[in-house]
Amino acid sequence: MNLQQLISLPDLDFAVFAEALREAYDVEQPEEYLSVLQEMFMLTPRIPDDEKDKPVFKYTMNLYKDVIPMDEGEEDYVDYVYDCSLKREGDDISYSTGLVPWDALLAYSVDDIVKEWVYKEGMMEEEIIAHILYDVTFYSMTSAGTNEAIADLAERLAQVKRDVASGEIENYPTHEDVFGKYEETENENE
């Protein structure tokens, strides 16, 4: 099953989807994600160029639940965060779903997520979709906005390479230099 097939399952319950967004991410207006789903329904899944002509994609979508211990003095209290990412077989590196064109994401397999979370953990498909879409929309609530963020990041990285090659800067920039614009935007939206 790929992401398009998951979001297209009949009888998905928006109330369960909305509650998962509220509970896991404190999303106050889960209705905003309806437009994300509507846009995804209209997209045609695109197999990325580096995956064409392969019987099995080298990347699969994964969902992890990380435990976050809270502040000192609250040792018995923990919180959880879900992380959706792409993983390449045999590779320990996780790749952001927020920086992948949506039409490409729709083609990736979610079989591992469904096996782990639905069949073993009892999570509903709507909850899985909520976790995936929350990560996918990290940079933008639209496909075009995500593509713009990808292009912007690619240009920033290309500029850094030019600056290093020319001797204008000696070191690569920090995380804040590259991602600061997006973190500031996210903080402004909260």
Could you tell me the pTM of the whole model? Answer: 0.79
Check whether residue 124 and residue 187 sit in a common domain.
no
| The predicted structure's pLDDT at residue 75 | 58
pLDDT at residue number 67: 73
Q: What is the mean pLDDT of residues 107-133?
A: 90
pLDDT digits (tens, 9 = 90+) for 56-103: 567 788 888 877 766 666 556 556 778 898 887 778 888 889 999 999
* Claim to verify: residue 162 and residue 109 sit in the same structural domain: no
- 12 with 28, same domain: the answer is yes
Please name the residue that has the structure tokens 């990285």: 157
165 and 106 in one domain? no
| 3-state DSSP assignment of residue 81 | strand
Asked if residue 56 and residue 117 are part of one domain, the reply reads: yes
Identify which has the larger pLDDT, 179 or 26. 26
Please state, in angstroms and rounded to a whole number, the distance separating the CA atoms of residues 37 and 122.
Answer: 23
The closest alpha carbon to 148, from 101, 186, 189, belongs to: 101
* Shared domain check, 131 and 42: yes
Query: Rounded to the nearest 5°, which phi and psi values hold at 96?
Result: -65, 135
The pair of structure tokens assigned to 169 is 């800067």
Angle at 127 between CA 182 and CA 28, to 5 degrees: 50
If asked whether residues 54 and 89 sit together in one domain, one would say: yes
Residue 127 CB coordination number (10 Å): 22
181 and 111 share one domain: no
Q: How many helices (H) and strands (E) does the chain have?
A: 8, 3
- CA–CA dist 118, 137 (Å, integer): 23
- 128 and 167, same domain (yes or no): no
Same domain, 184 and 110: no
* Structural domain of 79: 3-138
Number of domains in the chain: 2
Same domain, yes or no: 129 and 180? no
pLDDT in tens, 13-54: 999 999 999 998 999 999 999 999 999 999 998 876 666 665
Residue 170's pLDDT band (cuts 50, 70, 90): confident
pLDDT for residue 183 is more than 60:
no
Q: Kindly tell me the sign of the dihedral angle through the C-alpha atoms of 187, 131, 78, 15.
A: positive
Tokens of 83: 């992380």
| Confidence check: pLDDT of 134 > 90 | yes
